[in-house]
Amino acid sequence: MAEFDASKISWQDQYKLMIGTVTPRPIALVTTLGPDGPNAAPFSFFNAVGSDPAMLMFSVGDKTGSAKDTVRNIRATPEFVVHIVSDAIKEQMNVCAVDYPYGVNEIEKAGFTTAPSCKVRPPRIVEAPVAMECRLMQIVDLGRKPYHVVFGEVVYFHYHDGIVNDRFHVDIGRINPIGRLAGKGGYTRITDRFEMPRLPLERVAES
């Protein structure tokens, strides 16, 4: 057994344990709008949190001494678009993670095409297979580092053709998302999927 008292290890070591342990993580590529224009950045502390209404969260740590552009922009314009990062756009996503100075448009640097959103002001990225327009619900500031956990309500969904059927079932093979693992460059694809239907209570009770 390896055991660690969290109060006795540094935040850097706790970070390594967290990102190496909670895997694979989906990646949100988030566009926002600030006074100097649009911005895009990826976040893997990300997940869905509910469905009435549809709600998402992602968590943004500060860079030394100041909030990241995404948080600054959402405080200025409380709307954002969450895109799912597919294998096809992974390199461009990686460009969006470069720590450019405030006001630099990472969307252009990455070579992405944007289109106006339907219900929010930040633009959406056309090359992303899924774009979810969100209105800010709440930012929860947590921890000593600190992290800003952004909760949003999805107000509009965009999918590339062929991903969603008429019963709202999503073909995740056609999204082909990548997941974040640990380390500087660790990612995974969803190329080894399997199914395990939920067990009805009667079947469990019999055995």
Asked if residues 200 and 154 have their Cβ atoms less than 8 Å apart, the reply is: no
Residue 59 is a binding residue for ligand FMN (CB under 6 A): yes
User: How far apart are the C-alpha atoms of 38 and 101, rounded to whole Å?
Assistant: 13
Tokens 């694979």 sit on residue: 24
Contact region for ligand FMN (CB under 6 A) — 39-47, 114-122, 161-169, 191-199?
39-47
User: How far apart are the C-alpha atoms of 141 and 127, rounded to whole Å?
Assistant: 32
3-state helix, strand, coil in the chain (%, to 5): 20, 35, 40
Residue 99 is a binding residue for ligand FMN (CB under 6 A): yes
Residue 114 is a binding residue for ligand FMN (CB under 6 A): no
Nearer CB in complex with ligand FMN: 45/112: 45
Among 69, 79, 127, 133, binds ligand FMN (CB under 6 A): 69
Tokens of 97: 């993670």
Binding residues among 145-184 for ligand FMN as defined by CB under 6 A: 180
Interface size with ligand FMN, residues (CB under 6 A): 17
In the beta sheet, which residues pair with residue 56?
Answer: 48, 152
Among 31, 33, 38, 70, binds ligand FMN (CB under 6 A): 70
- Taking the CB of residue 111, how many other CB atoms lie within 10 A of it? 11
Q: How far is the CB of 159 from ligand FMN (least distance, A)?
A: 22
Give the helix/strand (H/E) hosting 13.
helix 11-21
Q: How far is the CB of 15 from ligand FMN (least distance, A)?
A: 10
Tokens of 30: 């988030």
Residue 83 is a binding residue for ligand FMN (CB under 6 A): no
Q: How far is the CB of 57 from ligand FMN (least distance, A)?
A: 11
Residues within the interface to ligand FMN (CB under 6 A): 27, 39, 41-45, 59-61, 68-70, 94, 97, 99, 180
